[in-house]
Chains A and B, each alone.
Chain A
Amino acid sequence: MKGYAEILMGWVLMLVIFVIVNSYLTTRMTADVSISDAVADSYRVIDAIEFAKLNVKQDLKFSIEETKKDLKIVTIGNKEEFLKKLKANFHPSHGFSEVDVSVLVNSINIDGSNLVANITFASSSDFRKALSTTFITQPLE
Chain B
Amino acid sequence: MKGILVTTFVAFILSVITAFIIFLILPNILAVWQFITGHPPILINIVVKPEFIPLTADHSLYSLLSSTDEQTGKSVQELLAYAAMNRNTSFVLKENGKSFNIDLKKIVDSKMKFLLPDFDYNLVVTNRFSIGNEYLGQTPPSNQAEQLKKVKSRSSSTITLPDLSKVEVKLFIG
Interface string of A62-76 (1 = CB under 8 A from B): 110110000000000
Which B44-77 residues have a C-beta within 8 angstroms of A?
45-46, 49, 51-52, 54-55, 58-59, 61-62, 65-66, 75, 77
Q: State A40–B51 Cα separation when bound (angstroms).
A: 6
Query: 13 A-B residue contacts at CB 8 Å?
Result: A15-B18, A26-B42, A29-B46, A36-B52, A37-B51, A43-B55, A44-B54, A44-B55, A51-B158, A54-B62, A62-B81, A96-B156, A97-B158
B14 within 8 A of A: yes
Contact of A55 among B22, B26, B43, B159 (CB under 8 A): B159
Q: What is the interface of chain A, defined by CB distance below 8 A to chain B?
A: 3-4, 7-8, 11, 14-15, 18, 26, 29-30, 33, 36-37, 40-41, 43-44, 47, 50-52, 54-55, 58-59, 61-63, 65-66, 89, 91, 93-98
Residue of A nearest to B57 (CB): A47
A46 to chain B, nearest CB (A): 9
Binds A, one of B101-109, B135-143, B144-152, B160-168: B160-168
- A55 adjacent to B160 (CB under 8 Å): yes
- B52 adjacent to A62 (CB under 8 Å): no
Residues from chain A with Cβ under 8 Å of B90 in the complex: none
Contacts across chains A and B counted by CB atoms under 8 Å: 101
Beyond A18-B22, A43-B52, 6 extra complex contacts between A and B, CB < 8 Å? A51-B158, A52-B158, A59-B164, A62-B161, A66-B162, A97-B157
- B52 adjacent to A40 (CB under 8 Å): yes
Residue of A nearest to B77 (CB): A58
B78 within 8 A of A: yes
